[in-house]
Structure 1
Amino acid sequence: MASTSTSPDTSATSPSPKKYNLRNPLPLSASQEQEVKQMYHKRVRARCAPEIKAFAECAVNRTVTATWVCRQQRLAMNACMITHANNREEEDRAREEWFATHEERRRAKEEELKRVEKRRAEVITMMRQDEERRRQEGQGK
């Protein structure tokens, strides 16, 4: 009996490390995953900034010809982007950054909603005052 009670306990504790990943403690919604991807791609672009800048400078005032005239810069930029975009560690860092700044973003969003509500109340007050003024002008005629 004691062996059967210990086996469920060990099975109950063994799935939990598999279930909870420290780098990703919560399942993210699609929009949250999109935010993580945006942070990830921003980090990749930052790492490849010199290559991107070189290609952009070469491609200025060119349209179709940029493909072969700036081939060397384009290949260097693509190689850099592929190297860093296939790096799982970079994606994990972006995910960690997202979790670290989650509370800050939530607070900023709440403050923005408060400002919007305050402004909405101001606009409603101004509209009511304007209506009252127009009504008084109409009665005075």
Structure 2
Amino acid sequence: MAPSPAEIEAAPRLPMPSRNPLPLSSGQEAQVRELYHARVRGYCAAEIKLFAECALGKTFTAPFKCRQQNRAMNTCMVAHATQAEQDSAREEWFATRLKRQREREGKEARKKEQEKFHREWWGLPQEDRDGDKGREVLRKAERVGGFPKRDEGQLSKDRHR
């Protein structure tokens, strides 16, 4: 869900590094595209709603029966889907990166609190509550092959025969 204009203005903004910033990762580009498409849909919300109301209950006949609304919707979207709008969506993405960073940090802190509560709730010993024992188990290499320790290094059981 796209943030409202009031939320965007209230968020602290960092200046965009340059007019033509370094390339973003594919995930970041997807976030910019999502923001861009949400903005375009926001501009054309009335036309989209009219087409959706017309197409309600219709299947493959919707483009034919609702041709006028479909054309109005597409015309609006093409008019607003410009490179300038894409650039402004990219600028908005860069401007709100501090807000996203704070949200990520908040999620991480909540996750740690939930893990701590979980350990306390289930009455795990104090050394298990801290999580070092669990991390130690994860650090050990996983055994592959399923042989018991006494059979390690030996040929498979089929070859003994």
Q: Aligned residue for 1:77?
A: 73
What letter corresponds to residue 52 of structure 2 in structure 1?
A
Q: Which amino acid aligns with 1:104?
A: K
TM-score under structure 2 normalisation? 0.63
What is the percent sequence identity of the aligned residues?
49
Q: Determine the C-alpha separation between the residues in 1 that align with 2:120 and 2:50.
A: 54
Rounded Cα–Cα distance in structure 1 between residues aligned with 2:88 and 2:116: 41
Is the contact between residue 23 and residue 95 of structure 1 (CA under 8 Å) also seen in structure 2? no
Instruction: Note if 1:31 corresponds to 2:34.
Output: no
- Across the aligned residues of Structure 1 and Structure 2, the Cα RMSD in angstroms comes to 1.5
Mark the runs of 5 or more structure 2 residues left unpaired by the alignment.
Answer: 1-16, 125-161
Shift of 1:72: 0.8
What one-letter code is carried by the residue in structure 1 that aligns with 2:119? I
Scaled by the length of structure 1, the TM-score of the pair is 0.71
CA distance in 2, matches of 1:114, 1:33: 27
Which 5+ residue runs of structure 1 have no aligned equivalent?
1-20, 130-141
Match of 2:44 among 48, 51, 56: 48
Given candidates 54, 77, 83, the residue that maps to 1:58 is 54
Structure 1 runs of 4+ aligned residues shifted over 6 Å read none
Find the residue that maps to 2:122 and give its secondary structure: helix
In the alignment, is residue 121 of structure 1 matched against residue 102 of structure 2? Answer: no
**Distance (Å, rounded) in 1 between the aligned partners of 2:102 and 2:21:** 20
Q: Which structure's residues are more often helix, by fraction? A: 1
Name the counterpart of 2:127.
none
63-72 or 44-53: bigger deviation: 63-72
Q: Which secondary structure state, in structure 2, belongs to the residue aligned with residue 128 of structure 1?
A: coil
Residue pair 1:24, 1:95 contacting (<8 A) in 2 also: no
